[in-house]
Amino acid sequence: MLGKLAIIGKSAWYWLALVLLGLASECVALYYQHVLDDMPCVLCIHVRLLMLVLIVVALVAVFLRRFKWLNALAHLLTVLVAAVLLERSYQLLGTERGFTFGDCGMDLGLPGWLALDSWFPAVFKVQTSCGYTPELLFGITMAEALIVFSVVFVLVSLAMTLASVLTASNE
């Protein structure tokens, strides 16, 4: 089983699927913002930034996947992205449901040298405070869908990382 996962994890198709997944999530977020006028909060922008990191890692991994340890490192980075995404999703759902009360102001928290909110305000500018997320389908909110996606993403990323590291150390 680990061997099959490792083969998938070395495939360009796997990494391109992650790129497409990241791009699709960014497109959905921008559709809700610019077409449906649901303005993003700081946690929503954090999710967008994590999706951007995922896209960059996956694009780099497409070209470095043949190097065992670099491929394993890319998989490890996806686990880190997935874990932070799960934490941000939990905060978003908790804010929506009222069981967490975190810092949810208007400051994105990026350093001055990485002012993405100034450089690309249409994508990364915080425009509202946290409170609720829009409904997607069948009464499921964006926060609810995001937490389920995040859990699945963590599990898949962990499995792919374990397969990649264990097969790389055996070779």
Cα angle 93, 99, 103 (rounded to 5 degrees) comes to: 75
- Set out the domains of the chain in order of their start, with CATH numbers: 2-170 (1.20.1550.10)
What pLDDT is stored for residue 47 in this prediction? Answer: 94
Cβ–Cβ under 8 Å, residues 83 and 76: no
What pLDDT is stored for residue 10 in this prediction? Answer: 86
Residue with the larger pLDDT of the pair 51 and 1: 51
Please, which residues have CB within 8 angstroms of residue 96's CB and are 6 or more apart in sequence? 130, 131, 132, 133, 141, 143
What pLDDT is stored for residue 110 in this prediction? Answer: 80
Distance, in Å, from the CA atom of 51 to the CA atom of 66, rounded to the nearest integer, reads 24
- Which pLDDT band, with edges at 50, 70 and 90, does 168 fall under? low
| Threshold 0.85, pTM exceeds | yes
